[in-house]
Amino acid sequence: MLRNVAALVLDGVHPFELGVLCEIFGLDRSDDGLPVYEFGVVSAEGPRLSTHAGFGLTVPHDMDRLEEADLIAVPAGESFNEREFPPEVLRALTRAVERGTTVLSVCSGVFVLGAAGLLDGRRCTAHWRHTERLSARYPAARIEPDVLYVDDTGVVTSAGTAAGIDACLHLVRKEQGSAVANGIARRMVVPPHREGGQAQYVDRPLPRATSDPVAGVLAWMERHLDREVTVEELAARAHMSPRTFARRFQQETGTTPYRWLLGQRVLLARELLEGTDETVDSIAVRAGFGNAATLRHHFGRWTGTTPHMYRRTFGLRRA
């Protein structure tokens, strides 16, 4: 049962991510009939800590407070993707999971869990800017880069800042039901559940070619995204055989002509959804998908959400 929550902070903690935990678990909302959690902030590195915002924190609890927690949450911190962590912190987290305590990370707090060995063989996620570094440091982790949060056998990891809210509300919903999670979300004025994953937030620059023949073909493809083209036609423009062109294209860009073209079409569709009022059908034609159904199919596979939801999230608001 979720009653006792400890936020485990390290030097350089990010105040906003710590604030997410304080807001969800540290406020008394009993006047709305919501549960009150025993909440404590725990320091692993002394009672005075710095924050990445330049001010300090005085933290009331030491590591002993972790022993009574049902949930230990680790917020993000400065340079967590590079620094080492105190061995006693890592041992405490490992013991906590062994005795059945849930451990949760917000954004780069996932690196602390990785250092404790808690990601080995588990599904997890992180902010899209950290996933490559996380994979390099902890190759046994099964990273899912496109989702907002992952819950795998007592270890909950979340992507960016707002995804920490999503993960916490998921845990409340799982342990105490939708009514409690919805009540907390209503008080915070946030959605109790967000559609889509973090893929919709990722800026995906497509690889560029360096050789003149392939680079020239890429430039032509960008100008004619609405055209159906074949490898044979592209190879002819590069004055190569189709087989040689496909091989050179893969070497230069790391992907196939079809995949590259598809990515460019999705990027154009995103730009049009963000910056215009054109209908989805019109955008599908301009971006080379032909019809709205095909656009929705490929857009969903690339971004994890629908064109409609993407526009609701990122579209310009016009009077």
Q: What is the pLDDT of residues 232-241, one digit of tens each?
A: 999 999 999 9
Supply 14's token pair: 């990010």
State the pLDDT confidence band at 198, using cuts at 50, 70 and 90: low
| CATH code for the structural domain at 4-201 | 3.40.50.880
The per-residue pLDDT of the chain, averaged, comes to 89
- Is residue 207 within 8 Å of residue 255, measured between CB atoms? yes
Fold of 212-314: Arc Repressor Mutant, subunit A (1.10.10)
Question: Which of 27-36, 75-84, 212-221, 227-236 is the least confident region?
Answer: 212-221
Q: What is the pLDDT of residues 259-308, one digit of tens each?
A: 888 888 988 898 899 888 899 999 999 999 999 999 999 998 888 889 99
Is a pLDDT exceeding 60 seen at residue 202? no
**Nearby residues of 94 by Cβ (< 8 Å), 6 or more positions away:** 116, 117, 118
Task: Give the integer Cα–Cα distance in Å for 196 and 202.
Answer: 12
- Is residue 244 within 8 Å of residue 213, measured between CB atoms? no
List, as own/partner pairs, every contact residues 112-121 make where C-beta atoms lie below 8 angstroms and the sequence separation is at least 24, other chains included.
112/8, 112/10, 112/74, 112/80, 112/85, 113/74, 113/155, 113/157, 114/138, 114/141, 115/84, 115/85, 115/90, 116/85, 116/89, 116/90, 116/91, 117/90, 118/93, 118/94, 118/155, 119/155, 119/157
Enumerate the domain spans of the chain. Answer: 4-201, 212-314
Decide: helix, strand or coil at residue 123.
strand
